[in-house]
Amino acid sequence: MAQWVLMINTGGVCGIARYHPSFWALSELGRKAYRVGATSLVDWIKNVVDACMNGVFNATNAAEWAVKFLHDYQQVHPIGQSKSRRATAKWRNPPSGRLKVNVDGSYRPEFGDGGIGIVVRDDHGTCVAAMARYFPKVLSAFHMEAEPFKAGLLLAIYQGWDGFELESDCSLMVAALNQNMEDRSDVGRIIDDCKSYLTSLHSIQITHVFREANGVAHRLAHLASSAYLDDVWLDEAPVIIQDVLYENYCNLNRGQGSMSPSRYVLNSNIISQAWG
């Protein structure tokens, strides 16, 4: 008998009591069950029911017992108000005269590969550049969130863009680049490279956005990882993202561009040299 009483006091019998032993011990049911003895757990449960229901066990009494137990629990843990749903985030034009660079990564753990997507738009929402790159060997999901930052900053440097905003739905990368702390993660070297690139840029703001406000870059990253895209488009919007641009009210001239690489495509060696 002492064994079962001890288990009740330490919350070893009931799932709720295990996490809230003080609640069980002080409740009405707990006080009644405290001195109930038995030779086995099954017998103890039956004896507790008999003690709480005055020796009469039927469906009605069992239901009343459950309701009382639930009532005691809810007294200690009142049901809070449901959280209000946040408004759907939307892509917003950058200030006049500035560009906005959205980046994203996609990781396929089953294959150990991934891809990145980058889209650059002006203050009118017009796509001025896009990039999709496939990575055959990927360390982690975080690795694929860091690589598009590096590629986006390199693209801006090579194009001579200085006044722009950089957005991503990866809050960890945004935080890492906005603070002066050493990063010892598996992608610490990439983060260090990004910080080094930032020193050559004078008017850049890095911010976090929700996934739905980063849909174009997400589409490019997903296609890069699954369809092995590896292209850079300048002064046009590839057809493959035209629908997302339209849905986000980013491109007022739907139908520009094509899937074929633009005559303005960067020399692949310029971008590729950063990754060896």
How far is 231 from 262, CA to CA, in rounded Å?
Answer: 9
pLDDT confidence band for 34 (50 / 70 / 90):
low
pLDDT at 142: 92
Residue 257 in this model has a pLDDT that exceeds 50? no
Residue 272 reports pLDDT greater than 60: no
- Mean pLDDT lowest for which of 1-15, 181-195, 219-233, 259-273? 259-273
Q: Show the domains of the chain with their CATH numbers.
A: 2-75 (no CATH), 99-275 (3.30.420.10)
Distance (Å, rounded) from C-alpha 9 to C-alpha 258?
Answer: 71
Confidence tier at 5 by pLDDT (50, 70, 90):
very low
The per-residue pLDDT of the chain, averaged, comes to 75
pLDDT computed for residue 271 by the predictor: 43
* Tens-digit pLDDT profile for residues 39-97: 676 676 667 666 665 554 455 555 666 666 677 777 766 666 556 777 777 888 899 98
Cβ distance 160 to 272 under 8 Å? Answer: no
The span from the CA of 194 to the CA of 191, in Å, is 5
Give the end-to-end CA distance of the chain in Å, rounded to a whole number. Answer: 72
Split at pLDDT 50, 70, 90, the class of 3 is very low
pTM over 0.75: no
| Cβ atoms 117, 224 nearer than 8 A | yes
Share of the chain above pLDDT 70, in %: 61
Query: In the prediction, which pLDDT does 179 show?
Result: 82
Residue 10 φ/ψ, nearest 5 degrees: -95, 5
Q: Enumerate helices (H) and strands (E) in the chain, giving the number of each.
A: 12, 6
Q: Is the dihedral of CA 225, 226, 230, 231 positive or negative?
A: negative
pLDDT tens-place string over residues 127-182: 899 999 999 999 899 999 999 999 999 999 999 998 899 999 999 899 989 888 77
User: What type of residue is 150?
Assistant: K
